[in-house]
Amino acid sequence: MEYRIEHDSMGEMKVPADKYWAAQTQRSYQNFRIGGEKMPVEIIRAFAILKRGAAVANNRLGKLDDSRLEAIAKASEEVLEGKLDDNFPLVVWQTGSGTQSNMNMNEVIANRGNELAGQKILHPNDTVNMSQSSNDTFPTAMHIAAVLIIEKKVIPSLERLVEVFRTLEEENKGIIKSGRTHLQDATPIAFSQEISGWRGMAEKCITYLEQSLPDLKELALGGTAVGTGINAPEGFGEEAAKAISELTGISFVSESNKFHALTSKDAIVFAHGALKALAADMMKIANDVRWLASGPRCGLGEITIPANEPGSSIMPGKVNPTQCEAVTMCAVQVMGNDAAIGFAASQGNFELNVFMPVIAYNFIQSANLLSDSIDSFIDNCLVGLKANRDKMEYNLRNSLMLVTALNPYIGYENAAKVAKKAYNENISLKEACVGLGFLTAERFDEVFRPEDMI
């Protein structure tokens, strides 16, 4: 491999000749050989937006000339387009402020920008990082990435899920089945009503995510090292937020209290709480689907779902609810991520939280897992979900909890006696009720109508 020599304030470093990063990135690359978890590409893209926005702000405030702005803008655009992805090698497990990832971006933009300009006009610290600190850029990148992935990926997946459930509700109108509570038989429910509960969860989770967005759209940029804004011109935070808004089409603002912005990660914790709520709901929905599809002969068997692949290496013909299993595994990971994020957010000292890379990594992973698993669940399971009407009718007619319909006519205690007699003697509710002398057969038929119980 060919190398070139780069230097920073600590001295010279050998850097791969075909890469745009420089000495500080190389030091981190060599000093933190921990795990294989790289800084998420969503954070890299957010940094590129941030750097371009900061350059625009510095230009508008008279600190950066047009030629340097153009060079930074062009290099940043290449980062956004994915053309420079192999220039960001750093792992999550680095400095807790994310300084090395900030410098990785500064060095790549500086070297590529100089190449595009045909002259050395950019310096990683003095121009690309002008008016900034890692301490305010990393939390800003984290917020930008969080907003983008929620608005552009998670919510659209949820909106698809809502529409699929609406379609299933319409397709299954008029089907009455046994309800279940505590995994035990309960009073009847329309299958469309059961599905509407799933839809309601997806709709609520959209609301929760939307409620988290305003705080995420407040940016730390302009606080620099400790929140005082040292080395940044007056109005830089506001001007940078305006430029970032123009670049993304999303209304970001400068957080008014930069001391809070640098040291607290509560906005991310709150937003991930909404992702955890979604994970909990997806766990419930996927479990409902696989319970209802259990069988095909020895389970509930009230619905069928697509048979996507063989389910066993030893049992011929076995098909498993694999999409449900994938969804529930993703939900478990998100719940674990929530614990990590909450604990990391609680560990900042004084003017800075130094657990930001692990917070960012877990947040982005959660959002991706939820969106991807929802899309897969829709495409490979829900669109092929069908009601087994015969099995639903059979289970409904054999449910002892239909006896609840008799409460107004024979009273709770007598109805309980009917249910117990029917169960113990393996006879119908009608036979038990008539046998106990509570109602005539004709009267029983008049008042016992499961379809009226929903």
User: What is the Cα 157 distance to its own chain's centre?
Assistant: 10
Query: In the chain, what are the helix, strand and coil shares in percent, each to the nearest 5?
Result: 65, 10, 30
Output the six-digit token pair for 385: 């979900």
Cα distance between residue 302 and residue 304, in whole Å? 7
What SS3 class is residue 202?
helix
Cα distance between residue 307 and residue 292, in whole Å? 15
The question of whether 7 is a catalytic residue gets the answer no
The question of whether 182 is a catalytic residue gets the answer yes
CB 402 within 8 A of CB 450: yes
Which of 67, 256, 312, 346 is catalytic? The answer is: 312
Cα distance between residue 259 and residue 336, in whole Å? 29
- ∠ CA 351-354-360, nearest 5°, is 120
Residue at 118: amino acid letter: G
Which of 76, 182, 256, 376 is catalytic? The answer is: 182
CB 396 within 8 A of CB 426: no
Q: Write the CB contacts of 14 (distance below 8 Å, at least 6 apart in sequence).
A: 3, 4, 5, 26
Active site residues: 182, 312
